[in-house]
Structure 1
Amino acid sequence: MKKQRHAFLDLNVTLLLIMLAIFISCSNSNEKRLAPKNTSLTELKFTVREADSWSNLFKRTSGWFGGDGIFTIPLNGIDSSESDSAGETLVLFSDSLIGEINNGKLDSPFVMVNNSVAWMEGHEPGKSNISFHWAENEKNAPQSLFIPNTPNSKPGEYFWLGDGFANQEKNNDIYLFGYRVITTGEEAFNFKEVGNALIVIPSGSKPPFKSQRQLDTPFYIEGTPESTGSFGAAILVNTKDAGAFSPDGYLYVYGVRGQRKEVMVARVKPGDIEKFHLWRFWDGADWQSDMHKAASIADRASNELSVSQLGDGRYAMIFQMDGIASTVGMRLSHSPEGPFGPIITIWDASADLSEGKQLISYNAKAHPNLSKPGELLISYNINSFDFFADVEESPNFYRPRFILLEIEE
């Protein structure tokens, strides 16, 4: 009887050891797959070139012919280069121009709306794959798709759009940030943010999104020019279902603060996005509940940017250096909250600014779901300090330009 008992115990021990060995083997294999192949935060081997087919996709002569913003939301929720190439993408624009262009000149007065969208089928930049949409008022005149209608909003406010995502934990409803903005009447930058909102579009909705919901959030920081900020500048969905390489189950939401364009980050589980008391903010050492203690994880960024994980495990922040400049920059990190390394210059947009006397470039960002493995498709906006004069002279200047970053092994 004792021999049988010892044999039974020996068998159990053997099975446990085998299971432990398998677990360790799988864990080690997993660690090797997820660990960064390159731990440097200062170097990345890459080449970069113009992505003319994408830039030309937005050079249009009828209907929508200009806009900025250019956030892209994969409607299946997979925001990586592994995304289904046949999927649909919602493209968000802020200020948008609608009208007709004939022989390179405006054929009639144009209309500016504060936001619009494009609907893309698949991931190829073909003009038959994309359609542009805006709302219309009772007189069939173009109108913004998203107009502030929250308890805190006031007449005359309008939305500039931040980043968004399809929330797989909330029925694939689309969540996007809207900055409530007012016109100030000042000469140079005659606008001011006064609040931050979440706009929720039910899954399956099509423009003009009449069933949208809007929620005031507490994620606008009002203060001095050095401390004023807001969240929604970029979103990283770091979940397995979203295609993340190193998923931890969190949604990371980035914000920008002050004249130095400091980047902040918050996180929350996607299913808890509307439970604002559960949001946590990185203070440089830990995640805590006080938004005002959010640390600067980078600076010299732009008010719109992106954070994406590269195939080697590192995270790449893409932005326009100092907000408005010809330089598209990148910083690298080992984690979504940083620390991020020094700026790596990846593109000079000066050639695009030669089309007009007062043109500017701004708000560069990457579009992982429209990229192929080993690549990052990046856009940046072109605008003008003499906007209306330049639109009359060259109406197609106000549109995104694209570059393709190809990462070398």
Structure 2
Amino acid sequence: MDMKRMLFTAVAALLFAGVHAQTPDLTPPRFKVEEAPEWSALFIRNNGWFGGDGIYTIPFNGKEHQASDSLLFIFSDSMIGSIVNDSLLPGSRMIHNSVATLKGHLPDSNKMHFAWDVNEKEEAISVFEPHTPQTGKTDYYWLGDGFVNQEQDNTLYIFGYRIRNVSEEAFGFREVGNTLIRIPAGSKPPFKGYKEMDTPLFFKDKDGHTGSYGAGIFVNTAKAGALAPDGYVYVYGVHGMAKQMVVARVKPAAFDKFDQWRFWDGAGWNKEMSKAADVTDKVSNELSLSPLGDGRYILVFQEGGMGTHISMRIGASPVGPFGPVTRLWDCSSDAEEKTYVMYNAKAHPAISAPGELLISYNVNSVEFLKDLQKHPHLYRPRFIRLKINSLK
């Protein structure tokens, strides 16, 4: 173990042990943020996949905390079709999830390959379709975070949110269940051999609002390259109108054994999911937690779930306490139309340079089909680069 890792481990242990003994320093470090145009440009495409949201990155080697030599991108709703002279051709198609693979960790379009499934008519369809016992006839998957589980033969796990349309309005959908998708090591897109299981990780809070785990995963193990490994996988959930965040953890070897999961209740790890405590709020349904080099952690999210501000909170441990909201970036310049919305910012350590965090966010429209005709490249991730001296 090198000196920097030893120092980080010692500081993190002191902070975590002293979470309730004293108030840790949650002051944001000095930082600089700039656009990352080379990464944003990687997703400006005219044939095949030309738009999507829900972007997560998963290193195939399971090394979550360093630049990867090969990784998987996963998307939720995705557009497949063709654009010519900035005009969308007839026949484009929306599917509910897709994937891409990148060889290396640099934004090279020649090494980026998008994939989706096709039906018997050779029409694009989603990579993952729900077929669990609790699945309804019209349910489909949006995707949460995922990771390669090195304690289970490098099985790739991805959270699947079962979504059901309830009206024709812009936001006429709701989540109705949480599943876990399991993909054997060595599988190639579009992943024909996956398995899936319903989980107990979808819930209603005391106010009757729904919530679900899988918004972010923090693999705090030595094999994943964590700076202060404790051997657990931390899984973050979000619920309610105030976008409150809850935390669960489990050993990676028991990841699909839900009786082994424990939930942070504000003082310790509880068997009962209903006892989970809100550790912070104003986050987004997709987010990330990453270690700083000084024993603290950085939580990145879209403030309030949907809005123009990408923000962060500094945490003393993977379960907090978390400091105040610090705004990193205003996405207003992306709003070519008043109908545009921005959401679900998160960091991607596996494609980040040392001392930086590459952060993505999604752009959509409440008049999607109308605006897509005018601006066919609107529906794609954008990237910014966060530079902090205390990043590893």
Q: TM-score range by the shorter chain?
A: over 0.9
Find the counterpart in structure 2 of residue 66 from structure 1: 51
AA aligned to 2:58 is I
In 2, the alpha carbon distance for the partners of 1:400 and 1:30 equals 33
Alignment pair present for 1:306 and 2:288: yes
In 2, the alpha carbon distance for the partners of 1:356 and 1:61 equals 21
The 1:107/1:28 distance shift into structure 2, 3 A limit, reads: closer
Find the counterpart in structure 2 of residue 405 from structure 1: 386
In 2, the alpha carbon distance for the partners of 1:378 and 1:78 equals 18
In 2, the alpha carbon distance for the partners of 1:36 and 1:350 equals 38
Shift of 1:31: 5.0
Q: Percent identity?
A: 52
In 2, the alpha carbon distance for the partners of 1:150 and 1:407 equals 43
Secondary structure at 1:264 match in 2:
strand
In 1, the alpha carbon distance for the partners of 2:43 and 2:280 equals 31
> Aligned to 1:380, which of 355, 358, 361?
361
Find the counterpart in structure 1 of residue 7 from structure 2: 32
Alignment pair present for 1:334 and 2:309: no
> Aligned to 2:123, which of 141, 147, 152?
141
AA aligned to 2:358 is L
Find the counterpart in structure 2 of residue 54 from structure 1: 39
> Aligned to 1:154, which of 136, 141, 147?
136
Secondary structure at 2:334 match in 1:
helix
Alignment pair present for 1:230 and 2:205: no
Shift of 1:226: 5.3
The 1:147/1:408 distance shift into structure 2, 3 A limit, reads: same
Q: TM-score, normalised by structure 2?
A: 0.94
Find the counterpart in structure 1 of residue 19 from structure 2: none
What number of residue pairs does the alignment pair up? Answer: 380
Shift of 1:187: 2.2
In 2, the alpha carbon distance for the partners of 1:29 and 1:135 equals 45
Secondary structure at 1:337 match in 2:
coil
In 2, the alpha carbon distance for the partners of 1:29 and 1:125 equals 29
In 2, the alpha carbon distance for the partners of 1:401 and 1:187 equals 26
Find the counterpart in structure 2 of residue 325 from structure 1: 307
Contact persistence 1:225–1:259 (CA under 8 A): no
Find the counterpart in structure 2 of residue 289 from structure 1: 271
Give structure 2 stretches of 5+ with no counterpart: 16-23
Find the counterpart in structure 1 of residue 28 from structure 2: 43
AA aligned to 2:386 is L
Residue by residue over 1:243-285, the C-alpha shift from the partner in whole angstroms, topping out at 9 and shown as x without a partner, is: 1000000000000010000000000000101110010000110
AA aligned to 1:179 is Y
Contact persistence 1:47–1:408 (CA under 8 A): no
Find the counterpart in structure 1 of residue 20 from structure 2: none
Shift of 1:144: 0.3
Contact persistence 1:97–1:110 (CA under 8 A): yes
Find the counterpart in structure 2 of residue 76 from structure 1: 61
Structure 2 counterparts to residues 206-221 of structure 1, below 5 A? 206-221=188-203
Residue by residue over 1:321-371, the C-alpha shift from the partner in whole angstroms, topping out at 9 and shown as x without a partner, is: 001110001011121011111111111101011x12300100000001111
> Aligned to 2:349, which of 368, 371, 386?
368
The 1:164/1:27 distance shift into structure 2, 3 A limit, reads: closer
In 2, the alpha carbon distance for the partners of 1:226 and 1:398 equals 32
Q: Rg bigger for which structure?
A: 1
Shift of 1:29: 8.7
Give structure 1 stretches of 5+ with no counterpart: 1-25
Alignment pair present for 1:181 and 2:184: no
The 1:30/1:106 distance shift into structure 2, 3 A limit, reads: closer
In 2, the alpha carbon distance for the partners of 1:156 and 1:78 equals 36
Shift of 1:200: 0.5
> Aligned to 1:394, which of 375, 379, 382?
375
In 2, the alpha carbon distance for the partners of 1:29 and 1:310 equals 12
Structure 2 counterparts to residues 238-253 of structure 1, below 5 A? 238-253=220-235
Contact persistence 1:174–1:201 (CA under 8 A): yes
Structure 2 counterparts to residues 94-113 of structure 1, below 5 A? 94-113=76-95
Residue by residue over 1:283-317, the C-alpha shift from the partner in whole angstroms, topping out at 9 and shown as x without a partner, is: 11010011111111110010000111122221111
Shift of 1:154: 1.8
Contact persistence 1:359–1:383 (CA under 8 A): yes
Shift of 1:129: 1.2
C-alpha RMSD over aligned residues: 1.8
Contact persistence 1:261–1:302 (CA under 8 A): yes
Which one has the bigger helix percentage?
1
Secondary structure at 2:38 match in 1:
helix
AA aligned to 1:388 is L
Shift of 1:28: 10
Find the counterpart in structure 2 of residue 163 from structure 1: 145
Shift of 1:36: 4.3
Residue by residue over 1:47-78, the C-alpha shift from the partner in whole angstroms, topping out at 9 and shown as x without a partner, is: 01000000000000000000000100000000
The 1:29/1:51 distance shift into structure 2, 3 A limit, reads: closer
Contact persistence 2:298–2:315 (CA under 8 A): yes
Structure 2 counterparts to residues 108-123 of structure 1, below 5 A? 108-123=90-105
Secondary structure at 1:397 match in 2:
coil
Find the counterpart in structure 1 of residue 340 from structure 2: 359
Shift of 1:241: 0.4
AA aligned to 1:193 is E
The 1:28/1:207 distance shift into structure 2, 3 A limit, reads: closer
In 2, the alpha carbon distance for the partners of 1:269 and 1:162 equals 19
In 2, the alpha carbon distance for the partners of 1:138 and 1:28 equals 57
In 2, the alpha carbon distance for the partners of 1:148 and 1:190 equals 19
